[in-house]
Amino acid sequence: MTDPGSAPFFTLVIPVKNEEETIPVLAAEIDRAFVGAEYAWEVLWVDDGSSDRTLAIVKALPPPHRWISFDRNHGQSAAFAAGFTHARGEWVGTVDGDGQNDPADLRRQLAHAIEHGVDMVNGIRARRADNLVRKISSKIGNGARNWLTGRSVSDVGCSTRVAKRACVVDLPFFHGYHRFLPTLVAMRGFRIAEIPVNHRQRAGGRSKYGINNRLWSGLRDCFGVRWLVHRHRSWKVAHSSDTPA
């Protein structure tokens, strides 16, 4: 159920850069996955300074597909943050634009979140469809992130997730923060669950990540997030003049 005139309940945010080969297939998969959904939904494509036909392709997609485009390449973290800002749904979801994440998992994650009363459901890629280098770098990076930040998340790097928009729209932003979204959400006291999700081979095109810009930059950021987690404070006002005891 998608009424163009009503605010959607769910917004799927997808950063894309030079993904002209994967977008048509992914868009069709999303449409099939959400057929019969009992809530209004939309997709927000965030073009991160593509130099191919990516922007033209997302512009041609019919509602409920929307798009925004950066002036130049700003990175995946900026694309997610901009998407959360421009999302209209009470809930948001994320997948990567390369087709490795299965959009069919999102409805299951959203149902799990609502049923169990949690604020975010993060995916766990049970069977990784990646090469050995990516698997090793991801395993090392995930372990280091959990150790340094003091938060236990099974698969921080999995982009298949849903969350209340209020949990993610104003998180502390830094270049690379998309690698720490569950950690940052947990830091602020929100409730997180994890469930297994599907993972597939890239649908087309070439990966933008290698061991240098995936592992080492992520490890460097861990120290900054460790500082942030340990310095963060959450408070609750017990009484005020507006609400006397």
pTM of the model: 0.82
What is the distance between the alpha carbons of residues 189 and 167, in angstroms, rounded to a whole number? 10
190 inside domain: yes
111 inside domain: yes
| pLDDT value, residue 38 | 96
3 inside domain: no
238 inside domain: no
Domain CATH for 63: 3.90.550.10
Residue 58 corresponds to which tokens in the numbers above? 């997302």
Alpha-helical segments (H) within 34-180: 54-60, 76-86, 104-116, 132-149, 165-168
244 inside domain: no
207 inside domain: yes
Q: What is the pLDDT of residues 53-91, one digit of tens each?
A: 999 999 999 999 999 999 999 999 999 999 999 999 999
Residue 108 corresponds to which tokens in the numbers above? 């299951």
CB 201 within 8 A of CB 122: no
Residue 213 corresponds to which tokens in the numbers above? 């810009």
Of residues 154 and 9, which shows the higher confidence score? Answer: 9
Which DSSP letter does residue 111 get? H
Q: How far apart are the first and last CA of the chain?
A: 45
2 inside domain: no
Supply the range of the domain harboring residue 181.
Answer: 10-231
Report the number of distinct structural domains present in the chain: 1
Q: What is the pLDDT of residues 81-110, one digit of tens each?
A: 999 999 999 999 999 999 999 999 999 999
98 inside domain: yes
